[in-house]
Each structure stands twice: as C-alpha cells, then as structure tokens.
Amino acid sequence: MDAEAIDTVLDTVGELNPEMAKLLKGQARSLAASGFKFWGFDLDPQAAKTGFLTNINVLSQPLIVKASLDFYVQASVAQLENLSSVIKPVTHRRIKLTAGDTEELQYRMKVASATGKTVTVVATQYFLIQDKHFYVITCGTLPEQAKKYAPIFEKIGQSFQLNK
C-alpha cells in the first residue's frame, strides 16, 4: 500500500464507480500511514449505497518487546471491550492456520459510514506472531452479509502465509 498504488487503484475504481472511489479515498491513505500492508474490498455497486464496503486488511507491526500471542489477545480484547462502539461480547478462540497458531476474534462494532450514517459492522480478526512481527488480518462486513462472507473470511485466514 504505497501512495502511487493507491492512486492508481482509486483512479480505476473512480472510472467504474465515482461514488465508491469517494468512499475509499480517505480510508486508503489513513490505512497506509498506519502500517497496513494490504487492503481489499468488495466492489459490488450495491455496497456503495450503504456507505460501507465489505473489506479485508492486513496490519504488520514489528515486535519491539517479546510478548506472547496470549498477551496481545488479552490486551486487544480488553481494549475492544472498553470501546463504547463495540457491541459485547468479544469472542476469541485459538485455532491452527496454515501460518501457525492463531487467535480468532469476533465482534460487532458501530462505525460511521462514508455516507455519515452509523452502521453495525461484523468483524473477524486473526492474530498471529511470526518472524518478530505481529500480524492482524481484519475482515469486516454488514450483519445482513455476515453469513455470505463467513466462509470467505475463514478461507482468507486459512490461506494467509508469509512470502520469504
């Protein structure tokens, strides 16, 4: 996610759907500046009407202090549960993915959509530690699309691996 790649993608999306390009523009630069390495989204034209696009992003952060996956999970769950926008409970479970031991978190959260309306997002996150980096894969969609995307999000988590 560099500035040139973002501009190219947004120009292409803008040619197909100017509304959708507007939805993505502000978020893309913010994500890139925050350490996100990947961002993908559903280009369904109907999604632009809600102001929220089903999406996936991958965050990579170097581990400054050696800590366990359990530590990161506990801290993240506590942080999420303290946010007034998160609809409790935040659930989590340890699973084994291709990339190794992973913690899967699931929760719902109220967010402001690009149209200014508040929408509920169903989020699934996968946390893992590899090669002195902490990775978070986040998939989000609207509740009415959650059943449709659940198997897709699971396949995304299962297929995640680092290129060496």
- How much is the pLDDT for 81? 95
DSSP 89-129: EEEEEEEEETTEEEEEEEEEEEEE-TTS-EEEEEEEEEEEE
Q: State how far the alpha carbon of 101 is from the alpha carbons of 24, 57, 65, 132, 155, in Å.
A: 32, 19, 19, 14, 16
- 20-31 pLDDT, tens per residue? 666 666 666 666
- The C-alpha atoms of residue 121 and residue 70 are separated, in whole angstroms, by 25
pTM of the entire predicted model: 0.82
Residue 126 lies in a domain: yes
Residue 15 lies in a domain: no
* Amino acid of residue 3: A
- How much is the pLDDT for 24? 67
Report the chain's C-alpha Rg in angstroms: 16
Residue 8 lies in a domain: no
Print the domain residue range for 102.
Answer: 37-159
142 phi/psi in degrees, rounded to 5: -80, 150
- 32-70 pLDDT, tens per residue? 666 667 777 787 766 667 778 888 988 888 888 888 899
- How much is the pLDDT for 27? 64
Residue 1 has pLDDT above 60, yes or no: no
Residue 12 lies in a domain: no
Q: What count of other Cβ atoms lies within 10 Å of the Cβ of residue 146?
A: 19
- How much is the pLDDT for 55? 87
For residue 69, what is the domain's CATH number?
A: 3.40.1000.10
Residue 85 lies in a domain: yes
Residue 151 lies in a domain: yes
Residue 7 lies in a domain: no
- How much is the pLDDT for 128? 92
Residue 137 lies in a domain: yes
Average pLDDT over residues 69-84: 94
Q: How many domains does the chain have?
A: 1
Q: What percent of the chain has pLDDT over 90?
A: 40
